[in-house]
Chains A and B, each alone.
Chain A
Amino acid sequence: MRRVGIIAAGESKFGARVGMEYEELFVEAFLEAMGQVDNLESKDIQEAFVGSLAFGGSQLGNMSALVVDSVNLIGIPASRVENACGSSGYALRYAIMSIASGINDIVIAGGVEKMQDISKATRLYWFGVAGDIKWERLSGMTFPGNYALMATRHMKEFGTKKEALSSVAVKNHDFASRNPKAQFQRKITLEQAMNAPIVAYPLNIYDCCPITDGASCVILCDLEIAKKYTDTPIEIVGFGAGTDHLALYQRESITRIDAAVKASKMAFKMANLQPKDIEVAEVHDCFTIAEILAYEDIGFCKKGDGGKMILDGETTIHGRIPVNTGGGLKAKGHPIGATGTAQIYEIFKQLRGEHENQVHDATIGLTHNVGGTGSACTVTILRRV
Chain B
Amino acid sequence: MAHVSIPKYWKALPQKYRLVAGKCSNCGELNFPPTTLCKKCGQENTQKHIELKGKGTVYTYTIIGRGGAPPEFAKMQKKCGPYAIAIVELEEGLKINVQLTDCDPFKDVNIGMKVSAVFRRIYEQENVIRYGLKFRPIIE
CB within 8 Å of B: which residues of A?
121, 124-125, 127-129, 132-142, 144-145, 148-153, 156, 197-203, 247-250, 254
Contact = CB atoms under 8 A, between A and B. Distances in A.
B111 A139 contact: no
Contact of A200 (B39, B63, B71, B99): B63
Contacts of A145: 62, 64, 68, 85
Nearest to B89: A249
25 contacts: A121-B71, A133-B2, A134-B8, A134-B12, A138-B122, A138-B132, A139-B85, A141-B64, A141-B70, A142-B68, A145-B85, A148-B62, A149-B87, A152-B111, A153-B111, A198-B82, A201-B82, A201-B105, A202-B62, A203-B62, A247-B97, A248-B97, A249-B96, A249-B97, A254-B60
Q: Which of B1, B8, B87, B122 lies at the interface centre, i.e. has the most chain A CB atoms within 10 A of its CB?
A: B87
Interface in B18-45: 39
Contacts of B68: 142, 144-145, 199-200
Contact of B2 (A138, A148, A156, A200): A138
Contacts of A202: 62
Given A133-B4, A198-B63, A139 B70 contact: no
Interface of B: 1-2, 4, 8, 12, 39, 59-65, 68-73, 76, 82-83, 85-87, 95-99, 105-106, 111, 122-123, 130, 132
A156 B64 CA distance: 19
A140 B60 contact: no
A145 B99 CA distance: 12
B111 A138 contact: no
Contacts of B61: 149, 152
B69 A149 contact: no
B63 to A, nearest CB: 4
A200 B95 contact: no
Residue among A124, A128, A138, A200 facing the most chain B CB atoms (10 A cut-off) = A138
Contacts of B83: 140
A128 B70 contact: yes
Contact of B71 (A124, A141, A199, A201): A124
